[in-house]
């Protein structure tokens, strides 16, 4: 028997439509994954066609599940391609109520060691997460009394942190006049200082 939580789509494994774990799941719900919802739609079309055949004894009703299968196959293809593209992309970590500043927590080293970097341009979500259940002073117009300055997003938000880019930022500077590069020394001088007019 297959796992209820890891249900494949019907055209990859057709036996999932008649698997006894899933026979009663013929109405799509919000808690189901997209593949489970499509499987339940196909299962519903099969049940509906069988009931119509029993009632009318017309073989044409079996076109209903066939057309439904074609429809679900067509609908699933773009979603599958989109999911593959998203899996390749490194997902960024969004603010949550427990971690509004998206910092690496000690539990992430065990629970989520492949977490992505913190998302950019989410200041409004950070503010909402920080102010959730925060008792405020109504007289504090400038929001200075809730210790906002003590909380911030750390520069390193990945595991392991990106030491190489930080080192490049610190030490990989272009040549300077101080290091003996004459071209760098003359870069800031004006041409008229040496009798040349451009």
Categorize the per-residue pLDDT at 155 as very low, low, confident or very high, splitting at 50, 70 and 90. Answer: confident
User: Same domain for 172 and 190?
Assistant: yes
As a whole number, the mean pLDDT across the chain is: 79
CA distance 27 to 12: 20
Residue 54 phi, psi (nearest 5):
-65, -35
pLDDT at 196: 55
pLDDT at 110: 84
User: Same domain for 9 and 50?
Assistant: yes
Give the range of the structural domain holding residue 51, as residue numbers without chain letter.
4-88
Task: State yes or no: pLDDT of 17 exceeds 80.
Answer: yes
Categorize the per-residue pLDDT at 2 as very low, low, confident or very high, splitting at 50, 70 and 90. Answer: very low
Task: State yes or no: pLDDT of 102 exceeds 60.
Answer: yes
- End position of a domain, from candidates 37, 60, 88: 88
- End position of a domain, from candidates 34, 56, 88: 88
42 or 192, which is more confident: 42
User: Same domain for 127 and 192?
Assistant: no
User: Same domain for 152 and 169?
Assistant: no
62 or 165, which is more confident: 62
User: Same domain for 179 and 154?
Assistant: no
The CA-CA-CA angle for residues 65, 71, 77, to 5°, reads 135
CB proximity list for 35: less than 8 A, separation 6 or greater = 7, 8, 9, 76
Categorize the per-residue pLDDT at 191 as very low, low, confident or very high, splitting at 50, 70 and 90. Answer: low
User: Same domain for 65 and 96?
Assistant: no
Q: What is the pTM of this model?
A: 0.41
Task: Provide mean pLDDT across the span 140-149.
Answer: 68
User: Same domain for 167 and 96?
Assistant: no
CB proximity list for 159: less than 8 A, separation 6 or greater = 104, 108, 109, 112, 113, 114, 115
CB 109 within 8 A of CB 159: yes
User: Same domain for 111 and 177?
Assistant: no
User: Same domain for 150 and 170?
Assistant: no
187 or 119, which is more confident: 119
CA distance 27 to 45: 10
Domain count, the chain: 3
- End position of a domain, from candidates 88, 122, 139: 88
User: Same domain for 177 and 150?
Assistant: no
User: Same domain for 95 and 83?
Assistant: no
User: Same domain for 60 and 95?
Assistant: no
């Amino acid at each position: 028997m297959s796992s209820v939580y890891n249900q494949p789509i019907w055209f990859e494994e057709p036996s999932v439509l008649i698997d006894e774990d899933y026979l009663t799941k013929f109405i799509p719900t919000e808690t189901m994954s997209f593949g489970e919802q499509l499987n339940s739609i196909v299962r519903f079309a099969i049940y509906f066609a069988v009931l119509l055949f029993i009632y009318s004894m017309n073989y044409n009703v079996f076109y209903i599940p066939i057309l439904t299968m074609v429809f679900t196959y067509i609908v699933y293809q773009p979603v599958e391609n989109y999911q593959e593209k998203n899996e390749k992309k490194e997902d960024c970590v969004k603010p949550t109520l427990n971690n509004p500043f998206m910092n690496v927590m000690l539990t992430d080293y065990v629970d989520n060691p492949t977490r992505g970097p913190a998302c950019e341009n989410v200041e409004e979500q950070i503010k909402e997460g920080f102010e959730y259940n925060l008792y405020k002073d109504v007289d504090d117009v400038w929001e200075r009394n809730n210790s906002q300055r003590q909380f911030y997003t750390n520069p390193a938000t990945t595991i392991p942190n990106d030491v190489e880019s930080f080192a490049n930022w610190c030490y990989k500077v272009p040549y300077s006049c101080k290091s003996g590069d004459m071209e760098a020394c003359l870069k800031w001088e004006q041409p008229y200082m040496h009798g040349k007019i451009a």
